[in-house]
Amino acid sequence: MKNYFQISLDIEDRSCLVIGGNEEAEDKVQRLLDAGAKVTVVSPRLTEGLHLLVASGRVVWNEARFTSQGLVGQSLVMLCVKTDPPLTEQVFKLCRSAGILVCAYDQPKWCDFTMPALVKCGRLRLAVSTGGAAPALARKVRQGLEMIFDDRLARFLDWLAEQRTRLEKEEPVLEARREKLKGLVKDFEITGRVIYPPDWEKK
């Protein structure tokens, strides 16, 4: 298992390619769109959700099989096909030679990066990753956190953003501004507990 370097990548207005038209591809397309990317999907078939995105003009659809020409102008490639190892290797090697980041779903050997489980609440984006060791656990952690982070947190984040904008105008001294912003979250806390499977330490 690899230890990945966690970053948030700016792909706004950049062209990204998704290979595959299954439910996994639909999830990745939606996440790319949420980040402001320009998305093209290459697949002979699409889910109903992807068809709707194509019909709305938010996604470009290429029904042909993937070719190297499809990489021209792309900043990022998401390969969501698990059943075609030769295609996976071909896409990875082409992307590497072209300097394009690529992620092959559930095939870490052929990835430059992985897509962590993502918790979203208003402006909050919290990534949960196990480095590929236990995707099911990452999903359970995400689901647990989603029960904690509610609409009230989203409103709190909006308020904090407003205060930051105000302080940038009213407080010219950077260190003083930082201290005031820290004070706004001084009493914010997260509490909870973790329940493990019984007897797991005995196995």
DSSP letters spanning 118-155: EEEETTEEEEE--TTS-HHHHHHHHHHHHHHS-HHHHH
Rounded-to-integer distance, Cα 91 and Cα 79, Å = 8
Q: What confidence score (pLDDT) does residue 201 get? A: 84
For residue 166, pLDDT beyond 70: yes
Q: What's the Rg (C-alpha) of the chain?
A: 21
> Would you kindly state where each structural domain of the chain is located, as residue ranges?
15-115, 150-184
For residue 167, pLDDT beyond 90: yes
Chain segment 118-132, per-residue pLDDT in tens: 898 999 989 888 877
Q: What confidence score (pLDDT) does residue 1 get? A: 64
Rounded-to-integer distance, Cα 195 and Cα 144, Å = 11
Average pLDDT of the chain? 92
pLDDT band at 199 (very low <50, low <70, confident <90, very high): confident
Q: What confidence score (pLDDT) does residue 170 get? A: 95
For residue 106, pLDDT beyond 90: no
For residue 202, pLDDT beyond 80: no
Q: What confidence score (pLDDT) does residue 203 get? A: 60
The architecture that CATH gives domain 15-115 is: 3-Layer(aba) Sandwich (3.40)
For the chain, give the longest Cα–Cα distance: 59
For residue 38, the SS3 value is strand
For residue 187, pLDDT beyond 90: yes
Chain segment 12-50, per-residue pLDDT in tens: 999 999 999 999 999 999 999 999 999 999 999 999 999
For residue 176, pLDDT beyond 70: yes
pTM of the model: 0.76
Tell me what the mean pLDDT of segment 157-170 comes to.
Answer: 96
